[in-house]
Amino acid sequence: MSCNLTCQETHANECQNQTNPVFVAVYSVVCTTGITFNFMALVVFFCCTKSRSHTIVYMINLAIADLLLVCTLPLRIYYHSGYEGLSQKSCEVAGVILLANMYGSILLLTCVSLDRCVAVCFPMSSRVREGRKKAPLVCLGIWMLTIGASLQSYLANTNTQKINQTQCFHSIPKYAFKLTTLTSSLTIGFGIPLIIMLLCSWGLVRAVSKSAAAQMPGLIDSCRIQRMVSINLAIFLCCFLPYHVMLVVIYFHNNKRIPCSVLSAYYYTLMATCLNAILDPLAYYFTTETFRKNVEIDTVRRMLPMINVSSDGNTRSRAPVSTVML
């Protein structure tokens, strides 16, 4: 296995050039936009939100995870720009953060969907209310799980295999060659969260559509809730599904030479997972009433400094009940 993996890593270097303008462009956009959007999201959540719901707790942790990820992207930009000098350790640390962010984002997005679903489907349940109060503990558990699993996946072979100093960001995921680890990633890290999100999305749309309040204009904006469900599922599938498909493809090339086209596809799907760092804040804007209103009000105040505060209050009073209540 170790000999086969070494040969595969050597082949990976032969397939890919270090300099890649597409990676440089995409990582640069994600880095600059991700820092701006996620920092703005944290400011809104901490400074402009009076009552912090349980869903907001998950979103805050998601924004922090995305900020940690985008802070490592300058290393990837530097590497793919053709510059030398990055140590393998720095590449591995950046890889650990990317992997932890990916599975952390998956679990946090799942928690957001589950929290909204149970809040709508079981609004009077005392057990549900008590369970939702454990959101900070759930987030702590997610951080411990994702960081621990990511460290194990990246560093498990350091004592048994000599590190190829020329790999850096062109390395192959070692756990893709281990059936037990790959199975855990595909089930616990992706499959089960996907099933939960699908069930929660279906349950949420069904509950809202059958609610008597949804039939009363101005009380519940069912279109916005359906849009929220669609956006969350789109982010989840577009960012994370291609990567996990490529892990399965790589596993089936375990005992033979991986085609260069497969390796290229893997690196591009890995890059696609980073897009969630800028898509998550957009989801906050389009699906969270509090976030949307604060961003819009601040923008309007800068553009129209003479705006009447009372008119803003009237606008708030006419707003339909939306996902902020979840």
The DSSP annotation for 241-268 comes to HHHHHHHHHHHTTTTSPPPHHHHHHHHH
In whole angstroms, what is the distance from residue 285 CA to residue 292 CA?
Answer: 5
DSSP-assigned letters across all residues of 190-240: IIHHHHHHHHHHHHHHHHHHH-TGGGSTTTB-HHHHHHHHHHHHHHHHHHH
Domains located in the chain, CATH noted: 2-325 (1.20.1070.10)
User: Residue 211 above 70 pLDDT?
Assistant: no
User: Residue 65 above 80 pLDDT?
Assistant: yes
Q: What is the pTM of this model?
A: 0.80
User: Residue 59 above 80 pLDDT?
Assistant: yes
Contacts for 18-24: CB closer than 8 Å, 24+ residues apart: 18/79, 18/80, 18/82, 18/170, 19/80, 19/81, 19/82, 20/80, 21/80, 23/76, 23/77, 23/80, 23/267, 23/271, 24/77, 24/80, 24/81
Confidence band of 262 (pLDDT split at 50, 70, 90)? confident
User: Residue 108 above 70 pLDDT?
Assistant: yes
Confidence (pLDDT) at 41? 87
What are the b/e assignments for 112-145, b being 16+ CB within 10 Å? bbbbbbbbbeeeeeeeeeebbeebeebbeebbeb
Q: Which two tokens stand for residue 106?
A: 């998956």
Q: Which of 85-94, 208-217, 265-274 has the highest mean predicted lDDT (pLDDT)?
A: 265-274
Confidence band of 159 (pLDDT split at 50, 70, 90)? very low
Confidence (pLDDT) at 25? 95
